[in-house]
Structure 1
């Protein structure tokens, strides 16, 4: 087995690469919790609008129920070798109340409009308060690249 030495990135490079991934990737792990039922984690499609992450799920799903009870959420991009975690409090929009530009951007990215489906859907919007990004142990120091909603670099 051959290992590759990871050269630690500085905060500006981590931020740039994180923003590129948010703009191009499709799936995100969504972690929520219910006060009685505990943690819940599912993958959802997401769309990054430059400021916020937008997701959509069935209005009666466990994720929808959980964020109505406790809007604190953690998101994780799926690559465990290139970790990106976002954390914050979500705002929820029933499909008939979602801002039009957010719904259209979701349609543009995925070719799917939940507002046209049978049954209600819930749009979930996360403006991150904390973002962490790291590749391997060498990057654990300095992994916080957004704190209190402001980019560190």
Structure 2
């Protein structure tokens, strides 16, 4: 999505635009950290399903190891002029324990079912606690569109 305007969007419009991107885009940057190994960042395919972001990665990947040790993550959509940053807590599901509805939706979106692969995979569910969305400097104030897991209906005067 490319943004070229300078007008500040109201909170309801930012929420709508954010949800549209979460339902239509395919890649998201996942930032994790491990107490012993430090930060790690990787792009993964994602699915917005059930008011959460779902991803899947190898069960032995650095991302999987990190979220098991430290379940707080930050996610970012890849457009730097139309920023969406998500902070949340992780729930992990081995591929043989993932809720079928979420795994089926993931398979439908990507045409790939990790549950049928030879290696072990981990499904990662991130329930957003905070979402920030902005287009450039005019929208820096009021960029928080979700706080404590609830979408904001109006923009606060700070942040």
TM range (shorter): over 0.9
Match of 2:112 in 1: 112
Match of 1:47 in 2: 47
Structure 1 residue runs without a partner (length 5+): none
Equivalence map 1:59-98=2 (5 Å): 59-98=59-98
Match of 2:144 in 1: 144
What is the alpha-carbon distance in structure 2 between the residues aligned to residue 14 and residue 5 of structure 1?
Answer: 14
Alpha-carbon shift at residue 37 of structure 1 (Å): 1.2
Alpha-carbon shift at residue 136 of structure 1 (Å): 0.4
Structure 2 residue runs without a partner (length 5+): 154-159
Match of 1:15 in 2: 15
Alpha-carbon shift at residue 75 of structure 1 (Å): 0.3
More displaced stretch, 60-69 vs 46-55: 46-55
What is the alpha-carbon distance in structure 2 between the residues aligned to residue 39 and residue 134 of structure 1?
Answer: 25
Q: Secondary structure at the match of 2:19?
A: helix
Match of 2:29 in 1: 29
* Runs of 4+ with deviation above 3 angstroms: none
What is the alpha-carbon distance in structure 2 between the residues aligned to residue 107 and residue 123 of structure 1?
Answer: 12
What is the alpha-carbon distance in structure 1 between the residues aligned to residue 124 and residue 65 of structure 2?
Answer: 12
What is the alpha-carbon distance in structure 2 between the residues aligned to residue 26 and residue 109 of structure 1?
Answer: 9
